[in-house]
Amino acid sequence: MAEYRLTAPLKEEDAAKLRIGDKVLLSGVIYTARDAAHKRIVESLDKNEKPPMDLKGSVIYYVGPTPPREGKVIGAAGPTTAMRMDAYAPRLMQEGMKGMIAKGKRNDAVKKAMVDCKAVYFGATGGAGALINRCITKAEVIAYEDLGPEAIRKLEVVDFPLIVVGDCAGGDLYIEGRKKWEKK
């Protein structure tokens, strides 16, 4: 397991070098989106419309943050379960998305798309939303404001701590990590 400092948007070579279990401190610009926003993005792509953010190299954080307290840029920002976005993730990877941040397992179609499109799935610690928000230095709603906490936000992050749970070589930490500790 290696440790990396990366900047988003990600380059293909960034995603290509990562392997499950690697630790990453991510800085740069990422976007928030959950299932309703993903559905709208894919619908816009299906209509040959431009999505609300540049997908090339993008990292999307599956989160619906709480309102910020006074003096803060964002409220608690813990990850949501990834499988709710599995129907949309392969299409976004085909359009250039290179990273996803969430918690939980991914389906086979998402894992195949990660290999085909050289993308990576990062795990963020569930239940640590109040701590994660310390890594977020700026938050701005850029699309679908009517979705409230699930609107798309452009976030600027510094040293967001992540672990690679799915890589573009087909690795899946949920499978491999379990095998490591199972009795033989």
User: Domain map of the chain by residue range?
Assistant: 3-179
Q: What is the pLDDT of residue 183?
A: 66
Q: What is the mean pLDDT of each run of 10 residues along the chain (184 residues)?
A: 96 96 97 97 97 97 90 89 97 98 96 98 81 89 95 97 97 87 69
Does the predicted model carry a pTM greater than 0.75? yes
pLDDT score recorded for residue 133? 81
pLDDT (tens digit, 9 = 90+) per residue, 101-131?
Answer: 999 999 999 999 999 999 999 999 876 666 7
Closest by CA to 67, choosing from 79, 82, 77, is: 77
pLDDT digits (tens, 9 = 90+) for 88-107: 999 999 999 999 999 999 99
> What three-state secondary structure class fits 107?
coil
Strand 59-61 with 23-32, pairing: parallel
Residue 104: count of CB within 10 angstroms of its CB: 17
Task: Count CB-CB contacts under 10 A for residue 183.
Answer: 3
Residue 93: both structure tokens together: 């990877």
Task: Report how far residue 50's alpha carbon sits from residue 159's, in angstroms, rounded to the nearest whole number.
Answer: 30
Topology given in CATH for the domain delimited by 3-179: fumarase (3.20.130)
- Nearest CA to 153 out of 48, 68, 87, 69 is that of 68
Q: Which of 38, 40, 118, 153 is catalytic?
A: 38
CA diameter of the chain: 53
Rounded to whole angstroms, how far apart are CA atoms 165 and 142?
28
99 CB-near residues (< 8 Å, 6+ apart): 8, 10, 15, 26, 30, 58, 59, 60, 119, 120, 121, 122
- pLDDT at residue number 104: 94
Q: How far apart are CA 91 and CA 98, in angstroms?
A: 12
pLDDT for the residue 71: 87
In the annotation, is 113 catalytic? no
CA distance 78 to 116: 28
Question: CA-CA distance, 61 to 152, in Å (whole number)?
Answer: 10
